[in-house]
Amino acid sequence: MSVRHDTTGAGDCCCGVLAQALAGGRDLSAAVGYAVTAAAPATTGSGARGGLPDDDAVQALLPQVPGAVPSD
């Protein structure tokens, strides 16, 4: 993963991707995992759009992301 440069837009990326993933039929756990995976590289560019990943970039990062920890 690249070094963080600018967190502007990472939260918006996470929320937007979460909404899209849920609307697309993913369950909550999978949708959250996908959203936070998309938000991480969003911090590597400048400004709100500089580091936004496309789906291919998110798919490539997903295998490196640990699974969610079940809550009791």
pLDDT at 6 over 90: no
Is 2 inside a domain boundary?
Answer: no
Question: Tokens representing 63?
Answer: 């295998």
Structural domain boundaries, residue 35: 10-62
Question: Tokens representing 1?
Answer: 């993963």
Cα torsion at 25, 31, 35, 37 (round to 10°)? -120
From 35, 41, 32, 42, select the one nearest 8 (Cα to Cα). 42
Write down the pLDDT at residue 71.
Answer: 65
Write down the pLDDT at residue 44.
Answer: 83
Average pLDDT over residues 39-45: 85
Is 67 inside a domain boundary?
Answer: no
Q: How many domains does the chain have?
A: 1
Write down how long the chain is.
72
Q: How far apart are the first and last CA of the chain?
A: 32
Write down the pLDDT at residue 7.
Answer: 80
